[in-house]
Every structure is written in C-alpha cells, then in structure tokens.
Amino acid sequence: MKAVLPGATIGILGSGQLGRMFAISARRLGYRVHTLSPDTDTPAGQISDCEITAGYHDLDAVRDFARRVDVVTFEFENVPAATAAEVERFAPVRPAGNVLHVAQHRVREKTFLRDAGFPVAPFRVVRNHAELQQAVAAIGCPAVLKTAGFGYDGHGQAMIRHPEDADSAYRKIGSCEAVLEGFIDFACEVSVVAARGADGSFAHYGVVENRHRHHILDSTIAPAPHAPEAVEIARAIMEKLEVAGVLAVEFFVRRDGGLIVNELAPRPHNSGHFTIDACVTSQFEQQLRAVCGLPLGSTEQVRPAAMVNLLGDLWNGSAPDWAAACALPGVKLHLYGKSEPRPGRKMGHITALGPDPQTALDRALQARDALTAR
Ligand code: AMP
C-alpha cells in the first residue's frame, strides 16, 4: 500500500469528539481534514479545513466528499454500511467496510466472536415476542436485552431480572431486533486499545480498567493490573478482522479472573483518551498512522494516568469552574466545543498524571469535583 503522506487530505465520517481529537492529531502532522455529518459547527468540524453538512444517506454529498479526499476513516461505527461502500468507490476506507459491518450490529458482532472462538456472554437473537420467551428460557435471569443496531453508552439496553419483566423490557428498547445476553457478575471491566497497520504490524496500550456510571464510562485507570491475556485476545480479533486502524475491545473480568469480550469499537475509544497526555503516541495519532500507511508509533506510557469524563450534568445552570480544575497539579482539561450541555452528553474529559494509577485517579476526581465546588 502506498502511504498517504502529510499534505494529503483525510476524510472523516462523523463529527463528534473522537473526530475532533483525530483531526487535531492529523492537523498537527500537516494533513488536511474534511468531515461529513448531518450537523454543523461540530466538535470535529470546528477543527477541520472543510465541514460538510449532509446526511449519511445523501449519496450525492457522500460521493462529492469522497472525491476530494485521499483516505477516509470514521469516528463512530453507526455510519450506514451503504455510505461506507459508496465512499470506497472513490477513496480507501480504513478500517474497511467489513469491520464496520461486523462491529455496528450486535448480532453480527457476537456471532463473529463466538464462531471465531472468542469468549462472549451466552446470547440469543430476539426478533419478536416468541423468540424473546425462548431466549429468556434458554439464558435465564438476570439477563440484559440490547438492541442489535445503533446502541451506544447503554442506550437501547434493558435489564430483565425476572421472566415476567421480559415483555416490558422489549417494549422499552423499541421491540426491534435485539440480543438477549446473560448477565455477567463481573469483578471489573477492562479494555484494550490497539492498532494494526495495513502491513499487519501491531501495537497496543496495555490493559486499562474502566468504571461506568449509568452505563456510561465514568473513569479509566491506566495501567491496570488485571488480565494481561486481554491483549492477546485483542490482537487475535484484529488479525481475524484484518483491521487497518485502531480498535478497542471491552471486556468483563469475571470473579475467577476469566475474560468475556463485551464489545468491539473499530476506532479510537473513550478508554484510550489518556494516551493523549500519557503516551508517546496518542490513540488518535496511531489511528492516523494506521489509516495513512505510516509506521505505527511507540505506545509507551510515560506516566501512570487516569481519565474522568465530563458530562453535561456538570453544568447545572452555569458553566463549571474550569480555572479550579486547571489549578491542580498534573491535570489536563479537554473540552469538545459542544455548546449544549445536555445530561449524559460527553462534553469533555480530564486526564490526570501521577506517580501511580490510584494517585492519578484521585487527582482526576478531585479536579472534577473542583468544577462544581463553587
Ligand atoms: P455496552 O453498551 O454493551 O457496552 O454496555 C454498557 C455497560 O452495561 C457495560 O459496560 C456494563 O457495565 C453493563 N453491561 C452490559 N452488558 C452486560 C452484561 N451482559 N452483564 C453485566 N453488565 C453488563
């Protein structure tokens, strides 16, 4: 593959914070960036040379976008597969559309993982009430019902604690195609963010621990002492999918130490944001290198780190006290340029560095508390 070199134009499908941090990396290396999404004044568009506002199904606009860029990547996996296929007629898409196809649909994702021998929670596909009853009988309770497509941050999920809850849970998620999976009584959640070059080279950021609140990632601690074998599973998944780019694998660590793969994200991931401030090469620069066919960069983590997300809930009528957080040692503030702080919306994050992961986490949490202490 011929490398796409600085000066070339990268296209991004999607325009959220992942696209923004990717675009910042790309521009730092001298690339031009075009984004396409249905919105204007977006986190990624604000950083781009050209922000195209068009729906993903507007194939005329998609073609126009694809003709003017040298390579295309995406920053969230819910880009319609047909859009990726149309782009591929004009410019390479990395990771390729097949990776998107698997990762954007829970039935395909779980089936791929199970059939390839990776450890996943027991699951059944649910397309109607009859299948739901059969699935509940087979999996047992508690179980988690998840929509097959377009879920994120716990949206499109419902817990089924007793068989009689099943029908209301199914209505809650919209009675659409879904997966019922066994509830995993995990000790903790971890993830591995890794990159694979088009030449098969591999790099990873080790195992990090993730804590969630209301199904949304709340904090990441890096490095984490758990489950080093998670890296080998991530590597094997990327080989099997022939990924060119960054991919994150989220895991549950069972109480006996065994691993269950929960989800794949074929792009930089919230649990890899610490790499911007703590690693030689951030996950975003790594994605850029991988999609452009440049050598992967060093993933060495220079200092222990922790990341906490800043959700719209922090606003509560007035802007958080940014200066108070910035006053603390080892604290780095990242904001995504979003004007509307809705509850549950990811508005930014804080990374704190420290002599050890726990101190870093304490600092990050202290910084977040300082935002609303006034
Ligand atoms: P997901 O959208 O699948 O990543 O789920 C979001 C969060 O919900 C996970 O990070 C877990 O904290 C929780 N969760 C999802 N599936 C399960 C499960 N099968 N067992 C236990 N907790 C789960």
Q: Name the residue at shortest CA distance from atom 17 of ligand 1.
A: 183
Contact indicator for 328, 366 with CB cutoff of 8 Å: yes
CA–CA dist 360, 358 (Å, integer): 5
Going along the chain from its start, the domains and CATH numbers come out as: 9-93 (3.40.50.20), 122-182 (3.30.1490.20), 186-370 (3.30.470.20)
DSSP state of 196: E
Which of ligand 1's atoms lies nearest the C-alpha of 151? Answer: 2
153 confidence band (pLDDT: 50, 70, 90): low
Q: Is the CB of 209 under 6 A from ligand 1?
A: no
pTM summary value: 0.95
Q: Is the CB of 277 under 6 A from ligand 1?
A: no
Mean pLDDT score of the chain: 95
- Phi/psi of residue 314, each to 5°? -65, -20
pLDDT over threshold 70, residue 7: yes
pLDDT over threshold 90, residue 156: no
Which candidate, 234, 136, 231, 232, places its Cα nearest to that of 179? 136
pLDDT tens sequence across 103-148: 999 999 999 999 999 999 999 999 999 999 999 999 999 999 999 9
77 confidence band (pLDDT: 50, 70, 90): confident
Q: Name the residue at shortest CA distance from atom 18 of ligand 1.
A: 183
Q: Angle at which helices 81-88 and 59-67 pack, to 10 degrees?
A: 40
Q: Is the CB of 184 under 6 A from ligand 1?
A: yes
Contact indicator for 127, 177 with CB cutoff of 8 Å: yes
Which candidate, 110, 111, 100, places its Cα nearest to that of 78? 100
pLDDT for 64 equals 98
Tell me, in angstroms, the distance from the centre of ligand 1 to residue 264's CA.
12
pLDDT for 152 equals 61
pLDDT for 96 equals 87
Which of ligand 1's atoms lies nearest the C-alpha of 157? Answer: 2
Tell me, in angstroms, the distance from the centre of ligand 1 to residue 238's CA.
22
pLDDT for 172 equals 92
Tokens linked to 253 = 């660590």
pLDDT for 143 equals 97
Which of ligand 1's atoms lies nearest the C-alpha of 184? Answer: 20
Residues 6+ away with beta carbon under 8 Å from 56 = 13, 36, 37, 38, 62, 79, 80, 83
